[in-house]
Amino acid sequence: MKARDAKFRIGQVVRHRVYPFRGVIFDVDPEFSNTEEWWNSIPEHVRPTRDQPFYHLLAENAETEYIAYVSEQNLVLDMSGEPVRHPQIDDYFSGAVDGEYKVSSGRLN
């Protein structure tokens, strides 16, 4: 499998194409890098391909906040401009400018 370049970057706010949640990207895997158990828990008819970037999100829906792992094919940019209310935002980011979060200086490699 040949990994593709990521379409989205750390700090961007995205939303899921199908399910009602959104989040800010805090990490990117060039291709699937989770457990087989996680992979097999996805119904086969909606299971994405492994050979694409997968994104770690500080995610939220109407009820709660959580960490999500989502394939690139299932994400679109969130253009709402609304802040993400995840409690770990300050652990990764120093604030938002024009709807995009800026990585905290302590998080840069």
Q: Which of 8, 91, 95, 104 is nearest to 56 (CA)?
A: 8
Measured distance CA(67)–CA(56) in Å, rounded: 7
Task: Name the region of 88 (left: φ>0; alpha: ψ -120 to 50; beta: rest).
Answer: alpha
For domain 13-107, give the CATH number.
2.30.30
pLDDT at residue 87 above 60? yes
Report the pLDDT averaged over residues 1-12.
81
List, for residues 31-86, the tens digit of each pLDDT value.
999 999 999 998 888 889 999 999 999 999 999 999 999 999 999 999 999 999 99
80's CB contacts (< 8 A; 6+ apart) are 13, 22, 99
Report the pLDDT averaged over residues 99-107.
84
